Amino acid sequence: MTAVADAACRAGPGHPPARPRARVRGPAGAVLAVAIAVGVGAVLAALWRPAAAAAMPSASDVINRVLAAVPAPGPTTATIQIQFRIGSPVSSTCAFRGRLEVWRDRSALKMDQATRTPVCWAIQHVVLQRLLADRDRADALLPRYQFDVLGEKLVDGRPHYLVYGRALAPDTEPRWMMGWVDYERGLVTEDTLQYGWGRVDTTQEYTQAAGAWLPLRQRIEIPRFNALLDIAYGDIRVAPKR
């Protein structure tokens, strides 16, 4: 995925990101980096919804389908377990357990257990809150990018399309994003976000509940900091539409 992303950055729309002007080091820097990064991956996962399989679609067709297909049911709730580690060898680890409640336009996360260290406190109150905030403002994030469909592949007989998004303004972060989309199911299975300070790679697994595909696990890696955020969902319940 990284090689494809780097090649597209050079040959696709826009230009490769310039060398970052500031350096971010250590656990504190990684906390801020993850806070900025994880939300966008969550935005992509939350917005892509089932769409009918077809010939190679245009990016605008895909985005319009996505925005039009976002359901508006009652709240979806799930237990959530989060593991965070940073460093090689590992210098900090955090574990969280709680319950997540999601509506169409807002989210709420209640933690029942959390590792009690300064770094873990920052992860809980900065990173996770940013993740939910970015999901809730997804409609404002997408118009900041120009999207193109770069290619396709078959996985288990289903077409997957490689979608590339370039920031329209030079100061927008991330500078570009790219992901493989299971078009038949409308799911982003892998994505890469490129920031001025580094790259964020995400893989996602889904499960079906009440006729909708919902995240089952998200694995977010930041190679520059040797950081990993692993999120697992369980006991997923979808309230019926009223």
Question: What domains sit in the chain, N to C, each tagged with a CATH number?
Answer: 2-10+25-238 (2.50.20)
Examine the pLDDT at 65 and tell me if it is beyond 70.
no
Examine the pLDDT at 71 and tell me if it is beyond 50.
yes
Examine the pLDDT at 27 and tell me if it is beyond 80.
no
CA dihedral 228, 35, 134, 147 (to 10 degrees): -70
Work out the percent of the chain whose per-residue pLDDT is above 90.
Answer: 33
* CA within 13 Å, CB half, 203: 5
Q: Where residue 187 falls among pLDDT bands split at 50, 70, 90?
A: confident
Distance in angstroms (rounded) separating the CA atoms of residues 43 and 177 = 12
Give the Å distances, CA to CA, from 35 to 15, 32, 58, 105, 200: 25, 5, 31, 20, 11
Beta partners for 232? 81, 217
Q: What is the mean pLDDT of residues 164-184?
A: 91
Distance in angstroms (rounded) separating the CA atoms of residues 3 and 173 = 20
191/238: higher pLDDT: 191
Q: What is the mean pLDDT of residues 43-68?
A: 59
Examine the pLDDT at 17 and tell me if it is beyond 60.
no
For residue 18, give the amino acid letter: A
Examine the pLDDT at 15 and tell me if it is beyond 80.
no
Examine the pLDDT at 24 and tell me if it is beyond 60.
no
Which of 15-24, 52-61, 199-208, 217-226 has the weakest average pLDDT?
15-24
Q: What is the mean pLDDT of the chain?
A: 76
As given in the structure block, the two tokens for residue 72 are 């508006």
140/170: higher pLDDT: 170
Q: Where residue 214 falls among pLDDT bands split at 50, 70, 90?
A: confident
Can you spell out the DSSP letters for 78-133? EEEEEEEEETTTT-EEEEEEEEEEE-SS-EEEEEEEE--SHHHHHIIIIIHHHHHH
Q: What is the mean pLDDT of residues 4-24?
A: 42
Are 10 and 16 within 8 A, CB to CB? yes
